[in-house]
Structure 1
Amino acid sequence: MKIVVIGGTGLIGGKVVGKLTERGHEAVPAAPGTGVNTLTGEGLDTALAGAQVVVDVANSPSFEESAVLEFFTTSTRNLLAAETKAGVTHHLALSIVGIDDLPDNGYFRAKAAQERLIKQSPVAYSILRATQFFEFVKGIADTATDGDTVRVPPVLFQPMAAEDVAEAVTKAAVGIPQKATTEVAGPEVFRFDELVTRALHAWHDPRTVVPDPHARYFGSELAERSLVPDEGSARLATIRFDDWLRTSS
């Protein structure tokens, strides 16, 4: 089966391409570096010719609110139009757990707009929402740093390894279109501040983590369950945070 992976040279996309190839599929990495630009439409028709499935794990090059909205809406419209033309039978998009509950977050609003476009398209779809990745914990800590202090809200947090995200995407890509939204999350639930503290300690980072209920997460003030799926609703990944810390360190 020919499966085109939009964003196929990135953190998740590269892993998905490898996993699909290992399973015997023709996995095509599509990104600006391979001559495919979903924002302009360049290379889409050629890449999608003969494809049965398109997996979209691409990310916006800018997180500025208007730019990220423009990226996800324009790219998704171009991609869905090209899929309709090419006869693609399954569109799979990777999205984020909790985007409906944080409307003041510009990035989340853009992902919600992307999901709406997918649901309105004639192409059969699956939307897979994932929780935050372990790989981004350091970046989150950096953005929350003021001097030697990291301020994060003491809310529930259920991140997962990029490897597990890629595995979930791969399984969904070779399955039938769900015409629905499903969720995947890490195997453990933490307090956000406690997990960041544990990570910085493992990395010998001397910064102090301070739980602050008003600390913002990419512009949003969080409620207790903003970043975790409803109880029992998500499929759970397998890689535990401490195991990931040991291998990543």
Structure 2
Amino acid sequence: MKVVVIGGTGLIGSKLVARLGEHGHEAVAAAPNTGVNTLTGQGLAEVLEGAAVVVDVSNSPSFADEAVMEFFRTSTTNLLDYSEKAGVDHYVALSVVGTDRLSESGYFRAKIAQEELIRGAGRPYSIVHATQFFEFVRGIADLSTVDGKVLLPPVLFQPIASDDVAAGVGRVAVGQPLNGIREIGGPQQFRLDELVRKALAAKDDPREVVTDERARYSGARIGERTLLPGPDAELGETTLGEWLARQ
């Protein structure tokens, strides 16, 4: 089947396109650098022609509150409109575990808006909620750095390898629409502060990680289990040790 992957040249998208191709599907990477722009609609009609599934794994180039909200509202509205006109049977989007519990964050308010648009469109859909990727742990440190120190709460965290995210999204994409949410996460739980401390040490990053129960995550206050998937989540296979060994 033809599957169009929006954000198909990025970290998850490129892996997803490759994986779908290996399984015999016609996977098409769609992104601004391939002539497809979800904000303006450029190239959408052409790339979606004949597609059975569209998978949106794109992300906003800016995480500023207004910019990220504009990105997800505009791009999702355009994708829903153009995919309906093209007769696409299944709309799939990648989102984040805990999104509904992180509304203090401008980024997550935008993801909530994206999910509401998808559910409200009245068409077959699936939303995949993934825990944070191993590859973005250093980015968490960057967002949490104050005066050269990384301030993080000691909450539970269950990160996943990007390869396992691509595999999970791929299985959903070629299956029947869930008309709901599938959660995916990594096979191990850590304390967020401890994991970032370990990841920075592995990269010889000298920043000190300070445990601070009042510290926020992407601008939001979080509890002990805010970032964890539920008991029915699908778990990836790659452990932190295995992932670090590949780097």
TM-score normalised over the length of structure 1: 0.96
Partner of 2:5: 5
Q: Show the 5 A alignment for 1:196-207.
A: 196-207=196-207
Q: Secondary structure at the match of 1:100?
A: helix
Letter in 2 for 1:66: E
CA distance in 1, matches of 2:51, 2:15: 19
Alignment of 1:243 with 2:242, yes or no, is yes
Distance apart, 1:123 and its partner CA: 2.4
Distance apart, 1:147 and its partner CA: 4.3
Partner of 2:212: 212
Q: Show the 5 A alignment for 1:133-144.
A: 133-144=133-144
Q: Is the 8 A contact 1:88 1:123 kept in 2?
A: no
Letter in 1 for 2:167: E
Q: Show the 5 A alignment for 1:174-213.
A: 174-213=174-213
Letter in 2 for 1:205: D
Q: Show the 5 A alignment for 1:50-89.
A: 50-89=50-89
CA distance in 2, matches of 1:31, 1:61: 12
Identity of aligned residues (%): 58
Distance apart, 1:71 and its partner CA: 0.8
Distance apart, 1:216 and its partner CA: 1.5
Distance apart, 1:243 and its partner CA: 1.1
CA distance in 1, matches of 2:146, 2:105: 21
Aligned length: 247
Partner of 1:31: 31
CA distance in 2, matches of 1:215, 1:245: 26
Partner of 1:104: 104
Runs of 4+ with >4 A deviation: none
Partner of 2:159: 159
**More moved, 202-211 vs 31-40:** 202-211
Letter in 1 for 2:58: A
CA distance in 2, matches of 1:3, 1:115: 20
The CA deviation string for residues 213-240 of structure 1, in whole angstroms up to 9 with x for no partner, is: 111111112111111123x121111100
Q: Secondary structure at the match of 1:104?
A: coil
Q: Is the 8 A contact 1:186 1:238 kept in 2?
A: yes
CA distance in 1, matches of 2:151, 2:120: 40
**More moved, 49-58 vs 118-127:** 118-127
Q: Secondary structure at the match of 1:221?
A: coil
CA distance in 1, matches of 2:223, 2:122: 36
Partner of 1:48: 48
Distance apart, 1:182 and its partner CA: 1.1
Q: Secondary structure at the match of 2:129?
A: strand
Alignment of 1:122 with 2:142, yes or no, is no
| Structure 1: gaps spanning 5 or more residues | none
